[in-house]
Amino acid sequence: MVSTALAGIAIVLGTADVLHGFAIMEKEDLFKKMVCPAFLMFENAAYLADMSFELPCHCKPEDVRSVVWYFQKGMGSQQTKVLTDFDGILMVDSSHIKVGSDMLRRFSIRMFSLIVFRVQVEDSGHYICGTKKGDYFYGYDVDVQPSKGISVAFVDKDQHPQKDQDEIRFIVFTIFWDWTMCNRCDVRGEQRRIGLCYVNSTNLFRRYHTTPADVASCGSSSVPKQFRRFAQKRKPEIVIRSCMIPCKAKASKGESSLSNAISKLGEKPWLSNVPIQFHKQSLGRGLIISCPGARPEHSVAWDKDSTRLYLTSFLTGVNKSMRVFIDHGNHLHIRFAQLDDRGTYYCWREGKVVAGFRLSVIYNSRYKRTLDDPETQYAIKVILTSYVLITILFVAIHFVRCCFYFFRCTAAE
């Protein structure tokens, strides 16, 4: 599993239909060839928060027809979660999985493999494949690294990834996945490259299997605690650069790229064969738009009518005061909807326009804000912050005036 992560390939299965595509004979042949280790080892795997992934049960006896997956936060923990219905037939539709959902609702078992949807930082720990009798076959040491506060570098702005940290007994560095495909075609697009934090040391615990040897993710249990506390201060990284790819040469009648559709004078872009969803939003309320079928690891882009919302300007964190921004999960956020937000928002996924959202902003006189509204909380936070800053500035000015007055009086004496 680690070798897959190091190569930059995320194994992600999003729907139950895809999960049915596994070949039963291939799985059975694998179990005949691979013998379970006599001593349970843990394979290190690292992911970014909100991703989905698969943990295969690489080995088991041929007579075992169903497996049970166990989760432990730490080695030897007394609290163990059983991640199965004991029949291995639990069905999960990934489209219904939301951030913050209970862990037992974010997994599925298909052909003995554990599928985890929208993993969270608190899901980091040990995942063990075994039986309900307590026999253990294979284990994983999963490190989920946070997406909040992630370090972003824009190649077009001559920004570079973080440098390696060379310490006395270990080295902290970033391993990057492959570049995503260009998120737009026939026009300038963008590519992302995700990098996760890793440690290189000869002091790793040998019960954990890592590839290459002596290299493990920063949050792995194989890293000694005195190293881990320091290593986890390094944030995951995302590198973004511009790209340009052509659309498909042959397109069916009526199909054309978004750039061609919006460039024709007087042509309404929402009359194309791209599915359009209509939505009415109250003035002043917040809105989050998701791209259909897109996952955090996908290459996604957003356009508003003929305006392209490039990540170099609209990625979250570029400007803290942004009202419209795109988060690291590829969602488009609109804070405090205004009248000029009206229009058609187009979503690109993997270099192809897949959907459009026709947004209308209306005034709703019946709507009453409460303290539970995110917009209200944000406004209160801004007001309080401004009040504190003004108070500090007021005190500082009077302090400086007092100091001048004191020195002037002392000089006069």
* pLDDT at 154 > cutoff 90: yes
* CATH number of this structure's domain 1-145: 2.60.40.10
Within the chain, which residue ranges are assigned CATH 2.60.40.10?
A: 1-145, 274-362
* pLDDT at 17 > cutoff 60: no
pLDDT the model gives residue 1:
35
Comparing 94 with 409, the larger pLDDT belongs to 409
Q: Express each pLDDT in 277-309 by its tens digit.
A: 898 888 888 888 989 888 888 899 999 998 999
Q: How far is CA 141 from CA 1, 210, 309, in A?
A: 10, 10, 38
Q: How far is CA 410 from the centre of its chain?
A: 62
What mean pLDDT comes out for the span 1-19?
Answer: 33
What mean pLDDT comes out for the span 147-173?
Answer: 88
- Give the rounded percent of residues in the chain with a pLDDT score beyond 90: 23
Residues 6+ apart with CB under 8 A from 265: none
Q: Where are the beta strands (DSSP E) in 223-351?
A: 237-243, 276-282, 287-289, 300-304, 307-309, 324-326, 332-334, 343-349
pLDDT the model gives residue 268:
44
* CATH number of this structure's domain 274-362: 2.60.40.10
* pLDDT at 221 > cutoff 80: yes
What mean pLDDT comes out for the span 21-34?
Answer: 42
Cβ count near 228 (within 10 Å): 18
First-to-last alpha carbon distance for the chain, in angstroms, is 79
What is the chain's mean pLDDT, rounded? 77
Say if CB 324 and CB 341 are below 8 A apart: yes
Indicate whether this model's pTM tops 0.75.
no
